[in-house]
Amino acid sequence: MRDLKSVLSLLALQAAILAPAQVSIRSDEAHQLWQMSAGEMTYVVGINDAKALQSIYWGPRLNQAATFTTAKQLPELASFDPSVATTPLEYPAWGGGLPLEPALKVSFRDGNRSLQLVFSDARVTADELEITEHDIKAPILVHLHYRLSPSGILARWSVVENRGREPVTVEQAFSATWNLPPRRDYDLSWLTGRWGGEWQLHTEALHSGARVLESRRGSTSHQANPWFAIGSTAETNETSGPVWFGELGWSGSWRISVEQTEQQRIRITGGYNPFDFSFPLAPGASLETPRFYAGYTTHGHGEASRILHRFQRAEILPQSPAPRPRPIIFNSWEATEFNVDEAGQIALAERAAQVGAERMVIDDGWFGQRKNDHAGLGDWYVNPQKFPHGLKPVIDRVHSLGMDFGIWVEPEMVNPDSDLYRKHPDWAMNFPGRPRSEARNQLLLNLAREDVRQYVFTWLDKLVSENDIAFLKWDYNRNWSEPGWDAVPLEQQKTIYLRYVQNLYSILSDLRKKHPKLEIESCSGGGGRVDLGILRYTDEVWPSDNTDALDRLSIQDGFTHAYSPNLMVAWVTDVPNFLDRRVIPLPFRFLVAMNGSLGIGGNLNKWTPEEMSEASRMTAFYKTIRNTVQFGSLFRLIGPRQSEETATEYVSADGKQAVVFGFLHSQHYGNPFPSLRLQGLDPAATYTLKTLDPAKAPNLPQQLNGAQLMGEGLSLKLAGDYDATAILLERTDH
Ligand code: GLA
């Protein structure tokens, strides 16, 4: 171990030279602490008198001259809560009596299961701090990484390294523990759901005990999303007040536990789900945990979302920092389900092009012996009855119509009724000799296996190389049931949880490298696999199979708390809706879908000439506001759960354009639509207003200034059930 003082002074020098303006890391030698700042946030950690890394500050941005109290371990709280539990440690290992959720738990061959981590070393670059700790006796090193991004996000992860001569077993390895400042009025917001009902937002006061958000299903899940936001009960709302928020970048089983300790401190620990987890570390081997991203704002839940949106677009997506605008997709699923064929898809493509679609996507049903969901998954050849000339005639026609072409795949799955399963039954994930549970008549391929990884990559690569495919809709329609992997030694079998996801990422990454123009959507029976891990390799996600426009308002609202609108594909589909049987007028359906990446999923062959021309009007309007919706700042003016109305506003990144959407779900007592006080405008600037439907904003002046629009607001005349409109604002240059 290097001498602490010399390390720190060198680091202070490095940090001063390298730090860019937006992010900074200051090493304070005298107090053994590191002050990290990005965006609105400062985060400070320090080495305490027990040589452990401790949280010192997480809150509003402070300048470099700020002073902090020296890190000091806190005393025990009676004999039942030792100092290791009362001190806000940055990465507490299980040992020394820790009764709370440990970030790390390791067992050794000699029977020892206790770890106590103390400081070894630090390394600072312009945007990254790496603190290394080691156990007081055992040769285990833990590298704690902190990486700052200019968008105001701090990414944390750990690397656990076995420097000994004996193998050890990691039983639990989280990415980070985040400690909040002690106060008593915290509210937790989180997202849950199910198939057809994802992105349900909940907010509840935190009390003593733990709230566990997790998936044990092998993938991210519909049931909970790895995102949290914590505000103050008294102070925080959509537009103001402190919010500490974060999300995980992992597409396998995950857990975030939010604990309020007996001292009323909040600690948030997240990363790999420890359920059924065990990871052997051979001598010299290490285990890296996923990125756990977090941020802070004093401007309420709206700004917390906007920070995440900017961060995702600038730093997470494969096309970051400047992702291309999402095209208007036509997707065949709700129109034709499994009955896809050459003539039918060409007819739909022609209609789609007429209404302004830019990408034609053939969904499920084009491959193997796929007539319904009982057969075909695994056999990825073009079905010769449905497409006797291969995909080329359809793709050529799509291109001649001015669109590009995409196709649905579900690479991780196999139907028992498939040639692949008949040839390789051992490739299906299973415990030998035990039942293999089917869901939607399918089994999971064990992607952790190298031969399966290669098979999947090879056929995908061939499909994309032999056909001019711009886009894959990558689906995943079930959860894990029997996660067995008997081809490797017993102690490695549980690594399936990690290896599977790592191989999934590697296939996506290799495909993108080989086909740089290819774009990919992450779909899992709707929004079952949306997280910052998969989003490093995919350009967009399908948030839900539920396409009912009223339900979508809540789904989209919940989604945007955690993810950017440009990622969220939203189709306009037919009525009565297949799920809710609800009948909602076409303009309302379009305006709802315009709040994300607009697409069309209805059976266009059945649309009347009036509907076709309304669709063209709507897609033309969307194209004028697409960049503002997809890359601007979202303001949720009225949330869909608050009342019978919903309203959203987007302001373009350069501030020159804004668009406002108003939705009346159902009319009560003839109440007028509330005036919409806008946000995020320049109060001194003048805006020219244009309405999509003049009758719905009859008294709209041609121009208003920003202060009026934000103070007095905009009046819309919406009436009856499912009425909606949009107003476009262009800033006049001054
Ligand atoms: C999933 C997807 C749908 C559709 C079907 C096809 O449910 O979410 O959009 O692709 O599979 O089988």
Question: Which pLDDT tens digit goes with each residue over 45-58?
Answer: 999 999 999 999 99
How much is the pLDDT for 18? 39
pLDDT of residue 11 exceeding 60, the answer is no
Pairwise CA distance, residues 196 & 637, whole Å: 25
Ligand 1 atom 4 nearest Cα: 333
Centre of ligand 1 to C-alpha 551, Å, is 18
Tell me the one-letter amino acid at 318: P
Distance of CA 358 to the CA centre of its chain: 25
Q: Are 48 and 115 in contact (CB under 8 A)?
A: no
Tell me the one-letter amino acid at 654: D
Pairwise CA distance, residues 721 & 131, whole Å: 58
The DSSP element (H or E) to which 503 belongs, if any, is helix 496-514
pLDDT of residue 7 exceeding 50, the answer is no
Centre of ligand 1 to C-alpha 591, Å, is 23
398, two tokens: 């799509």
Ligand 1 atom 12 nearest Cα: 364
Centre of ligand 1 to C-alpha 338, Å, is 10
Cα-Cα-Cα-Cα dihedral sign, residues 370, 374, 378, 379: negative
In ligand 1, the atom with minimum distance to the C-alpha of 545 is 8
pLDDT in tens, 563-610: 999 999 999 999 999 999 999 999 999 999 999 999 999 999 999 999
Tell me the one-letter amino acid at 682: D
In ligand 1, the atom with minimum distance to the C-alpha of 526 is 8
What is the DSSP-derived secondary structure letter of residue 724? E
pLDDT of residue 190 exceeding 60, the answer is yes
CA atoms within 13 A on the CB side of 696: 21
What SS3 class is residue 59? strand
Q: What percent of the chain has pLDDT over 90?
A: 94
**This prediction's pTM:** 0.96
Centre of ligand 1 to C-alpha 483, Å, is 23
Q: Are 476 and 215 in contact (CB under 8 A)?
A: no
Name the residue of 373, 413, 545, 571 to mutate for ligand 1: max ligand atoms within 8 A of Cβ. 545
Name the residue of 332, 340, 363, 413 to mutate for ligand 1: max ligand atoms within 8 A of Cβ. 363
Is cis: bond before 321, omega within 30 of 0? yes
pLDDT of residue 520 exceeding 50, the answer is yes
In ligand 1, the atom with minimum distance to the C-alpha of 523 is 8
| pLDDT-derived band at 274, boundaries 50, 70, 90 | very high
Ligand 1 atom 3 nearest Cα: 525
Residue 475 catalytic? Answer: yes
Q: Write down the catalytic residue from 187, 364, 404, 475.
A: 475
Could you tell me how many helices (H) and strands (E) the chain has, helices first?
Answer: 13, 36
pLDDT in tens, 687-723: 999 999 999 999 899 999 999 999 999 999 999 999 9
Centre of ligand 1 to C-alpha 335, Å, is 12
Centre of ligand 1 to C-alpha 85, Å, is 46
The DSSP element (H or E) to which 213 belongs, if any, is strand 209-215
How much is the pLDDT for 734? 59
Pairwise CA distance, residues 568 & 588, whole Å: 18
In ligand 1, the atom with minimum distance to the C-alpha of 363 is 10
Q: Write down the catalytic residue from 127, 379, 545, 548.
A: 545
- Cα–Cα nearest to 52, from 184, 179, 165, 149: 179
> For 227-255, what is the mean pLDDT?
98
Pairwise CA distance, residues 539 & 535, whole Å: 7
pLDDT of residue 6 exceeding 60, the answer is no
| pLDDT-derived band at 10, boundaries 50, 70, 90 | very low
> For 544-552, what is the mean pLDDT?
98
| pLDDT-derived band at 612, boundaries 50, 70, 90 | very high
pLDDT of residue 2 exceeding 60, the answer is no
pLDDT of residue 312 exceeding 70, the answer is yes
> For 677-684, what is the mean pLDDT?
98
Pairwise CA distance, residues 478 & 379, whole Å: 18
> For 64-90, what is the mean pLDDT?
94
| Distances in whole angstroms, Cα of residue 379 to Cα of each of 367, 369, 418, 459 | 7, 8, 6, 9
Tell me the one-letter amino acid at 532: L
Average pLDDT, the chain: 95
In ligand 1, the atom with minimum distance to the C-alpha of 373 is 12
Centre of ligand 1 to C-alpha 50, Å, is 54
In ligand 1, the atom with minimum distance to the C-alpha of 473 is 10
Pairwise CA distance, residues 297 & 141, whole Å: 33
How much is the pLDDT for 5? 45
Centre of ligand 1 to C-alpha 521, Å, is 12
Q: Which residues have any ligand 1 atom within 6 Å of their CB?
A: 333, 363-364, 408, 475, 477, 523, 525-526, 542, 545
Ligand 1 atom 6 nearest Cα: 364
Centre of ligand 1 to C-alpha 380, Å, is 17
| pLDDT-derived band at 642, boundaries 50, 70, 90 | confident
Distance of CA 120 to the CA centre of its chain: 34
- Cα–Cα nearest to 494, from 145, 190, 252: 252
Ligand 1 atom 1 nearest Cα: 525
Name the residue of 372, 408, 476 to mutate for ligand 1: max ligand atoms within 8 A of Cβ. 408
Ligand 1 atom 9 nearest Cα: 545
Ligand 1 atom 11 nearest Cα: 525
> For 242-258, what is the mean pLDDT?
98
Residues 6+ apart with CB under 8 A from 722: 549, 550, 584, 585, 588, 664, 665, 666
- Cα–Cα nearest to 628, from 650, 660, 606: 650
What is the DSSP-derived secondary structure letter of residue 425? G
> For 610-638, what is the mean pLDDT?
98
Instruction: Using alpha carbons only, give the angle 548, 523, 198 rounded to the nearest 5 degrees.
Output: 45
pLDDT of residue 12 exceeding 50, the answer is no
> For 160-180, what is the mean pLDDT?
98
Name the residue of 409, 410, 475 to mutate for ligand 1: max ligand atoms within 8 A of Cβ. 475
Pairwise CA distance, residues 35 & 43, whole Å: 6
DSSP structure string for 45-73? EEE-TTS-EEEEEEEE---TT---PPP-P
Residues 6+ apart with CB under 8 A from 671: none
Q: Are 334 and 571 in contact (CB under 8 A)?
A: yes
DSSP structure string for 623-665? HHHHHHHHHSEEEEEE-TTTSSEEEEEEE-TTSSEEEEEEEE-
Pairwise CA distance, residues 31 & 70, whole Å: 6
Pairwise CA distance, residues 585 & 134, whole Å: 63
Ligand 1 atom 7 nearest Cα: 525
Ligand 1 atom 2 nearest Cα: 525
Residues 6+ apart with CB under 8 A from 590: 572, 598, 614, 615, 618, 622
Q: Are 728 and 624 in contact (CB under 8 A)?
A: yes
Centre of ligand 1 to C-alpha 638, Å, is 31
Question: What stretches of 104-208 adopt beta strand conformation (E)?
Answer: 104-107, 117-124, 128-135, 140-149, 153-162, 168-179, 186-192, 200-205
pLDDT of residue 414 exceeding 50, the answer is yes
Cα-Cα-Cα-Cα dihedral sign, residues 584, 585, 590, 591: negative
In ligand 1, the atom with minimum distance to the C-alpha of 525 is 8
How much is the pLDDT for 450? 98
Ligand 1 atom 8 nearest Cα: 525
Centre of ligand 1 to C-alpha 700, Å, is 43
Centre of ligand 1 to C-alpha 475, Å, is 7
In ligand 1, the atom with minimum distance to the C-alpha of 408 is 10
Pairwise CA distance, residues 683 & 571, whole Å: 35
- Phi-psi group of 95: left, alpha or beta (phi > 0 → left; psi -120 to 50 → alpha; rest → beta): left
How much is the pLDDT for 733? 78
341, two tokens: 């064929």
